Amino acid sequence: MQIEDTPLEGLKIIKLNLFGDERGFFVEKFKLSKFQEFVIPTDFVQENHSKSSPNVIRGLHYQFNPSQGKLVGCTSGQIFDVAVDIRKDSPTLGQYFGIILDQATLLWIPAGFAHGFCAFGDQPADLYYKISGGEYNPDGEGGIMWNDPDINIDWKIKNPIISDRDKKQLSFKEYLQDPKF
């Protein structure tokens, strides 16, 4: 397991050692000592799993009450995973980092980031993520438009499938003006 910093403070790429042969593979996805060494929280309170068809974009979602960190991985297929810095006091506010996740790569997304992903390729993608900071609270969640021009994410696909909910999220400018953040 190798853990690398990204240009956005706190956001980390976790490259896993995948051991495979003709039978399949084995991979160690979590090791307490390694996460502690790189100061990644290990107080996970919830684990989620979603399956998305090709060309589905989900996000950009965040939780502010309680704020949450996410350890994100892809168990089948591939996703383009995106984290947007929405910490109002951050020098990288409004910047995003995107990475392709598969079975050999995880992304640690600390609290203060909006998260979204796109399933691409010709097969569905399974995403799982562990949550730290607090359990899901529907009254404490928010979202930013997946195609906000101020963030300008290149999602790597054409003709995305977007939920009605995600089509109605805040613009980044509206998020910045909202007093609860």
3-class SS letters over the chain:
CEEEECCCCCCEEEECCEEEECCEEEECCCCHHHHHHCCCCCCEEEEEEEEECCCEEEEEEEEECCECEEEEEEEECEEEEEEEECCCCCCCCCCEEEEEECCCEEEEECCCEEEEEEEECCCCEEEEEEEECCCCCHHHEEEECCCCCCCCCCCCCCCCECCHHHHCCECHHHHHHCCCC
Q: How far apart are CA 161 and CA 159, in angstroms?
A: 7
Opening angle at CA 116, ends 88 and 90, nearest 5: 15
What are the residue numbers of the active site? 61, 129
Q: Give me the torsion for CA of 106, 15, 31, 62, rounded to 10°.
A: -20
